[in-house]
Amino acid sequence: MGVIFDLDGVIVDTAKYHFQAWKRLANELGFDFDETQNEQLKGVSRYDSLNLILGWGGVTQTEEQKQAWMVTKNDWYLGLISEMNESEILPGVHSFLDELNAAQIPVGLGSASKNSKRILEQIGLTSYFQSIVDGNRVVKGKPNPETFLTGARELNLAPSECIVFEDAPKGVKAAKAGGFMAIGIGSSRNLSNADYILKGFENIRWRTIQRLFRNYKIKDEKFSTSFNY
């Protein structure tokens, strides 16, 4: 079996930087949006995020202008994360990855971000991942399952053999659509579609996750048995 991690909000808290950069763009265009709206941008590609934000501001523009705004936003974002280092890895993630490594569990990254590789390098975690599927590699972003299905294929595993860790409702939706067990990272308030929810990785051991996976399989089997008869 194997695991696939989302990046933003699971390994590092970059949502606050994305928020700042998008907010700056919106403000320059003469409107604002709040943190509740920002929740809707989690797991969503840069292009789709821009369209959502422009919709909130009632702004319509040419594709060319949108491309230029995306470049501007990303430059600001890169400025905000330029100093990012391993101190920004969320609590417990590093030791959990060490444990997976020691147990020789295949590990993949499944992120919408086109900056994934840069961020993994900056925080020193690249070598933990045998597969990296990011926003540069997929046609259909989350909630489409393509990101995770590509990752599972690269790890030589079936979706039913993989666990996905996700903080975004759209990411959980993508995992479930692909036939994966999905563990939500965050609060049950917005992750009700996940199979299990963890606050984060602090004090989380691989054997705990394996137990959750076994329970999930039993539930799954019960469901298909009752479904068949």
* Number of residues engaging ligand BG6 in binding (CB under 6 A): 18
- The DSSP letter of residue 86 is G
d(CA 45, CA 177): 18
**Is residue 8 involved in binding Mg ion (CB under 5 A)?**
yes
User: Which residue in the set 105, 167, 174, 180 belongs to the binding site for Mg ion (CB under 5 A)?
Assistant: 167
**Is residue 135 involved in binding ligand BG6 (CB under 6 A)?**
yes
Q: Shortest gap between Cβ of 40 and Mg ion (angstroms)?
A: 12
**Is residue 112 involved in binding ligand BG6 (CB under 6 A)?**
yes
Helical packing angle, 146-154 and 169-177, nearest 10°: 60
| Residue 8: active-site member | yes
Indicate left, alpha or beta for 60 from its phi (over 0: left) and psi (-120 to 50: alpha). Answer: beta
Under 8 Å between Cβ of 129 and 112: no
CA distances to 19, 24, 33, 100, 171 from 10, rounded to whole Å, are 16, 24, 23, 16, 11
Residue tagged active-site, from 8, 134, 167, 195: 8
What part of residues 1-20 is at the interface with ligand BG6 (CB under 6 A)? 7-8, 18
Q: Shortest gap between Cβ of 26 and ligand BG6 (angstroms)?
A: 14
Report which secondary-structure segment, H or E, holds 28. Answer: helix 15-28
Contacts with ligand BG6, residue ranges (CB under 6 A): 7-8, 18, 41-46, 49, 74, 111-115, 135, 168
- Site residues, Mg ion (CB under 5 A): 6, 8-9, 167-168
Active site residues: 6, 8
